[in-house]
Amino acid sequence: MKAEVLTIGDELLRGEIVDSNKSFLSDRLLGLDIETRFHASVLDDPDDMKDAFLRAEGRSDVILVSGGLGPTRDDLTCEALAETFGREMLLDEASLETLRGFFRGLGREMAENNAKQAWFPAGSEILPNPIGTAPGCLLKEGNAWFFCMPGVPRELYKMMDEQVMPRLADRRGDGQVVRATLLRTFGIGESNLDEELADIAASGDVSLGFRTAFPDNYLRPLARAKTAEEAGRLLAQVSDAIRERLGPIVYAEGDETLPAVVARLLSEHGKSIAVAESCTGGLIAQELTELSSASSFFLGGVVAYTGASKVALLGISEGVIAEHGSVSEATARAMAEGVRERFGADFGLATTGVSGPDPVVDNGVERPVGLAYVALARESGTHCEEFQFPLDRPRHRQLTAHTAIDWVRRALLEVPIVGPSLLEKRGGGPPPAR
């Protein structure tokens, strides 16, 4: 089956919100071995919507429509769909009563315009929405199935999983089986990844996609075969080949984030960590404490932004700051060692640098924008490197934080501690050699 995802809303085209519904819906379809062939977005304009519906009906078997089911004048999905295929709009009394009950449960009187959400194109199958006011619907036009769902993500996710997926599973017959996975990498640029993997999944029944989600890069190996067993075997082969080629640059598979990987490894090894942050301003602590398991490994953190706070809070010698400055290798090392000692942690992690937008005069020396030092202290010693990340302020802080977190992962895995090669830097290591 060919699938298409169509999202509707002025806010999407104006760039006011990120259209994450497309990726969610396509990922769910792939779980049923249904490949998404087309993505489209249109304004809340009836003519544009009708044009999109006609194009989708002519080229796709499954069309997942998100948005335009609300109670306001610009929510026109059902009306436009009915007009496109010459269907009458009919009131579904059960949906109307459910809407009224929803508002009664909130102790509110339903506004009249909410009744609009109970009208659907003739011949529609209603898709219940237990957590919102907008029911969805399934309209079959020829070979094309239109699933209309709310644009609100939490409502969309529940309706997709509970209403749409079972119907698609019933419809799907025997055909080509597709299996895919997501490999997450950190420390190498997208073009370098492509070059490193040039001879892997280059043709045939396996393919390899690339996606950047700064500061990570994602690989999507995909395999096609006549049976699930064969597709799974091909996918395992290409995934193993990628891991062998890239080594620890691949940090996870699926939904596990880099901080989640580090949290799991710290817990598995029974190790603890404390952080001292300057330029990253608490980002590392935030990333690690967002995880529910944080209390088992995270002892605490200090945001020491000035030289005086580094001395007062971390016990750094005033002589170190006076001789080397706040943004220096010596200070980064002292920060990591100081926070490790003060918290009694197995790992002490520290960052200091210049995120911009302007250079900083530190101890009489101008430190350029993009400069960063990362230090990791542990029982065996302290590792520190200097980097130059020529990025805007938010991304400089984010990349510095993720570099530091990745060092903890590498230390726990007992692999070389190297910095990211996706940007020009001093120190660290090169990308893997083929």
- Give the up-direction half-sphere exposure of residue 30: CA atoms within 13 A in the CB hemisphere: 18
pLDDT reading at 173 higher than 70: no
- What CA–CA distance (Å, rounded) separates 346 from 274? 8
CA angle 56–62–67, rounded 5-degree value = 75
- What CA–CA distance (Å, rounded) separates 338 from 327? 16
Residue type for position 401: A
**Closest by CA position to 357, among listed 385, 393, 328, 390:** 393
**Closest by CA position to 247, among listed 37, 43, 433, 20:** 433
CB 90 within 8 A of CB 119: yes
- Measure Cα distances from 17 to 9, 25, 26, 313, 394 in Å: 10, 17, 18, 41, 19
Question: What digits encode the pLDDT tens for the residues 239-278?
Answer: 999 999 999 999 999 889 999 999 999 999 999 999 999 9
Question: What digits encode the pLDDT tens for the residues 189-229?
Answer: 888 899 999 999 877 789 898 888 899 999 989 888 888 89
Where residue 424 falls among pLDDT bands split at 50, 70, 90? very low
Tell me what pLDDT residue 175 has: 62
CA angle 27–194–429, rounded 5-degree value = 115
Instruction: Find the radius of gyration of the CA atoms of the chain.
Output: 27
- What CA–CA distance (Å, rounded) separates 417 from 18? 35
Question: What digits encode the pLDDT tens for the residues 138-163?
Answer: 999 999 999 999 999 999 999 999 99
- What CA–CA distance (Å, rounded) separates 381 from 359? 31
Taking residues 97-125, what's their average pLDDT? 92
Tell me what pLDDT residue 1 has: 86
- Measure Cα distances from 298 to 270, 332, 334, 348 in Å: 11, 20, 20, 11
- Measure Cα distances from 423 to 36, 328, 388, 393, 411 in Å: 33, 20, 8, 15, 22
pLDDT reading at 390 higher than 50: yes
- The average confidence (pLDDT) of the chain is 92
Taking residues 23-49, what's their average pLDDT? 92
* Diameter over CA atoms, the chain: 82
Residue 52: is it exposed, middle or buried by C-beta count within 10 angstroms (0-12/13-18/19+)?
buried
CB 405 within 8 A of CB 266: no
Q: What are phi and psi of 392, to 5 degrees?
A: -70, 165
Beta bridge partners of 212: 217
Domains and CATH numbers, the chain: 2-171 (3.40.980.10), 177-253 (3.30.70.2860), 258-413 (3.90.950.20)
Classified as helix, coil or strand, 210 is strand
Tell me what pLDDT residue 14 has: 93
Task: Enter the DSSP assignment of 291.
Answer: S
Beta bridge partners of 375: 350, 384
Taking residues 89-116, what's their average pLDDT? 92
Taking residues 285-296, what's their average pLDDT? 96
b/e per residue, 241-278, with b = 16+ CB within 10 A? bbeebbebbbbbeeeebbbbbbbbbbeeeebbbbbbbb
**Closest by CA position to 362, among listed 318, 320, 322, 302:** 322
pLDDT reading at 349 higher than 70: yes
Beta bridge partners of 87: none
CA 118 to chain centre: 34
Q: Of all residues in the chain, what percent carry a pLDDT higher than 70? A: 96
Question: What digits encode the pLDDT tens for the residues 403-422?
Answer: 999 999 999 999 999 888 64
CB 144 within 8 A of CB 57: yes
Classified as helix, coil or strand, 385 is strand
Classified as helix, coil or strand, 323 is helix
- What CA–CA distance (Å, rounded) separates 138 from 126? 6
**Lowest mean pLDDT across 132-141, 220-229, 349-358:** 220-229
Tell me what pLDDT residue 189 has: 87
Tell me what pLDDT residue 141 has: 97
